[in-house]
Amino acid sequence: MIEYREPLEGDSRESTGSKNREAGKSQVAHKDKDPIRIYLKEMGMVSLLDREGEVKVAQRIEKGQKKVLEALSRSPVVIAELIGLGRRLKQGELEITKLVSIAEPDPRDSFCEARRQEVLKQFRKISRIQTEALKIRQSLGRTRKGSPRNVKLSLELADCLETLAKQLVDLGLKPTIQEKLVHEVKEARGWFTARSREAKDLCKQQKMPLSLENSRKLKRRQRELTDEIKEREQELATSAEELKRTQVAVRRASIEAEKAKMELVENARDVIYRYRFGSTSGCEYVSPRITDLLGYTPEEVYADPELLLNSVHPVDREKLQKAFHGQGEFHERATLRWVNKNGGLVWVERINVPI
């Protein structure tokens, strides 16, 4: 993702004179006809966020992502998978940089080793809490719902799950690991769903005329399915219904976070875009703010893979090309001159982030 910021007004590097003023008037006229701005106005939305608005949206994104982790932490399937990852980390089969987010990671760095030891300590705590939670779940299964002991154990389990949620959030897991945990829940529920469908199909078949032998086979298979489901529930320490609730909670939280992300991207004052390198290079996404900055619509950028690069002033274009081809500092902030659709110069600050 590459983010662009326009300079503050009065920047000494900006061009002056009648040509720039005319270009500015032309840009204003273009903005008034911009279909994206018209659409946002008609929908009652503010087209551009100020810094305070961006912070609020970022907080909503963080809140949604936190809710995802909290929902995952309630599933024994997720915690078991997480403990397995901790075991691999301890045995050296998994690098700390592959598990948690670390700024500018270097596996040989002493900071990475310190972070590894810290994460291993957190995993040990998670393992202890999970063991306690499993014991409480087993005891709950032997109590009558609503009884004093049932209520007491339910409160204890809630405390354990709250602590697990906090530990999971504090780990700072990489997005790929979070996706893996979500996938584990999906796979586990898929197993139960397949057995449930088979059981329903067997019930339908039993209502049809059958020979005595086939009827016995169907009943035998039904008993096998019932036993398989019970064994699986004991193995995973959860049920199909609990897995479904986890999936629903994760989906809702993910939608909440994604909606906030899109609001930030679409309405931010900066231009944000994702550029794909390779044999089929091109822009995969660009925010509507590009129209205000350069005068081109997102559709024009998508149609011409070289448009953004060609819009850079010839003097600065080589600098950008070197960064793209690994010959310069890719992560380094750089100020470049761009030529907008009307031929005017625009100074921007470029920030590259590989994804």
In a domain, residue 293? The reply is: yes
Q: Which of 203, 233, 260 is the last residue of a domain?
A: 260
pLDDT band at 54 (very low <50, low <70, confident <90, very high): low
Phi, psi at 124, each rounded to 5°: -65, -40
Clarify whether residues 250 and 202 are in a common domain.
Answer: yes
Contact 104, 97 (CB under 8 A): no
**pLDDT at 354 (0 to 100):** 62
Residue type, 235: E
- Is position 54 within any domain? no
Query: Are residues 153 and 6 part of one domain?
Result: no
* Pair (97, 235) in one structural domain: yes
Are 10 and 147 in the same domain?
no
CATH no. for residue 317? 3.30.450.20
Distance CA 319, CA 301 (A): 21
pLDDT surpasses 80 at 352:
no
Give the residue, 299 or 272, on which the prediction is more confident. Answer: 299
Q: What is the number of domains present in the chain? A: 2
Does residue 313 share a domain with residue 243?
Answer: no
Q: Which value, in Å, is the radius of gyration of the alpha carbons in the chain?
A: 28
**Nearest Cα to 122, choosing from 64, 170, 182?**
170
H-helix segments, 49-146: 51-73, 76-90, 96-99, 110-140
Range of the domain at 13: 2-48+268-352
C-beta separation of 76 from 237 below 8 A: yes
285 has which bridge partners?
274
Which three-class secondary structure state does DSSP give residue 103? coil
Residue 136 lies in a domain: yes
- 19 and 158 housed in the same domain: no
Asked if 253 and 121 sit in the same domain, the reply is: yes
Q: Give the end of a domain, one of 237, 260, 283.
A: 260
Residues 6+ apart with CB under 8 A from 134: 76, 237
pTM: 0.63
What is the domain-level CATH number for residue 79?
A: 1.10.601.10
- Model pLDDT, residue 272: 80
Question: Do residues 222 and 79 share a domain?
Answer: yes
pLDDT over threshold 90, residue 289: no
Helix axes 18-33, 35-42, angle to 10 degrees: 50
How high is the pLDDT of residue 190?
95
Q: Rounded CA gap, 60 and 24, in Å?
A: 35
Same domain, 13 and 39: yes
- Tell me whether residue 55 is in a domain: no
| pLDDT tens-digit map of 307-337 | 888 899 988 888 777 766 555 555 567 788 9
Does residue 53 lie within any of the structural domains?
no
243, 260, 277 - which closes a domain: 260
pLDDT higher at 245 or 28: 245
Give the full edge-to-edge strand order of the sheet including 271-276: 282-286, 271-276, 2-5, 345-352, 334-339
Please indicate, yes or no, whether residues 230 and 280 belong to a single structural domain of this protein. Answer: no
85: closest CA among 73, 93, 77? 93
For residue 24, what pLDDT band results from cuts at 50, 70 and 90?
Answer: very low
Residues 86, 31 within the same domain: no
Residues 234 and 142 both lie in one domain: yes
Of 49-63, 78-92, 196-210, 322-336, least confident by mean pLDDT is 322-336
DSSP 305: T
The answer to whether residue 272 is domain-embedded is yes
